[in-house]
Amino acid sequence: MSKRWFQAHQRDTWRRQARSKGYRARSAFKLKQIQEKFHLIRDGDLVLDVGCHPGGWTQVSVEETGPNGLVIGIDLLASAPVEGAQMVTGDVTDSNSQQLILQLLQEGMKVDGSFLPETMEGEQRLFNTIVSDISPRLTGQYDRDQAISLELVAMVFDFTLPLLAPGGAFVTKIFQGTGIEGIVNAAKQRFSRVQRFSPDASRNSSSEVFLVCKNKLPRPKKGSGGKSVAYELDRHLESEGIIQPKTDDDEGEIKSGFRRIPKKE
């Protein structure tokens, strides 16, 4: 950690405001500014916060939904409890974590501690809004970090969109660079309105941008072919000559930062 970074961190006005207003991170103001412009979260909404640690976005989500809303946060890292929210420690792509989220959603405990009306037998509740400030563990190698970020965002789309109600909203952080259009195009197949937005609270040196998606369509447009966002991202990267088309020889391999590497035995 450089002296210059530490001095800039100390001068960070958003960080000071977060501390004075009781938010756990300066990033809370990013969601507040997104909300101010796009009005994604409404009173009484059911909200899922993916990559919620340390809880700043969860705090804002609780404020915006009000006492009649429901907020669930999930992250690999454990977060201290957020009043009014239910916090899950786990991987959103893991089936056990997904099952727990569905269970909490179905139980329907609201911000004020009371419960939503019971659903009809066999009916599954869905979220109105999904928010994600998720980021990979950064290595300092931008091309690799940005590539892994895109893959992570694609996974979040694929694992959470089935939990989002038609007409719902989705916002996620994404790093600008190679392949971003693949994610944007995939989002446009699933939402009627997709915009990129950079909040004032983002650091000037940051390459992050937020993909704001509104009005989830009842089903993806025909151009998607019913494929996953991860699949569409791969096809985009192949068309740009960034990765080679997958062949039968790639069986038993995984991708990391747009590179296919053999799985360890």
Measure the CA–CA gap between 129 and 45, rounded to whole angstroms.
Answer: 7
Q: Does 215 fall in a domain? A: yes
Q: Is residue 214 part of a domain?
A: yes
Q: What pLDDT is recorded for position 125?
A: 93
- For residue 89, tell me if it sits in a domain: yes
pLDDT category at 211 given cuts 50, 70, 90 is: very high
The better pLDDT of the pair 61, 147 is held by 61
What is the per-residue pLDDT for 242?
82
Which amino acid does the sequence have at 191?
Answer: F
| pTM (two decimals) | 0.86
Domain ranges, residue 123: 24-262
CATH of the domain at 167: 3.40.50.150
Which residue would you say has higher pLDDT here, 258 or 191? 191
Would you state the pLDDT for residue 18?
74
> Can you tell me the distance from the alpha carbon of 92 to that of 130, in angstroms, rounded to the nearest whole number?
12
Q: Give the Cα separation of 57 and 82 in Å (integer).
A: 10
Predicted pLDDT of residue 97: 93
Is residue 11 assigned to a domain? no
Q: Which comes out higher in pLDDT, residue 12 or 141?
A: 141
Overall domain count for the chain: 1
- 54 preceded by cis ω (within 30°)? yes
Give a yes or no: residue 57 inside a domain: yes
Residue 10 lies in a domain: no
Gap between the Cα atoms of 99 and 77, Å rounded = 18
**Could you tell me the two tokens for 49?**
């916060």
Tell me the DSSP string of 81-148. --TTEEEEES-TTSHHHHHHHHHHHHHTB-TTS-BPPPPPTT----EEEEEE-------S-HHHHHHH
258 falls in which pLDDT band (50, 70, 90)?
Answer: very low
| Domain annotation covers residue 166 | yes
pLDDT band at 10 (very low <50, low <70, confident <90, very high): very low
Active site residue ranges: 173
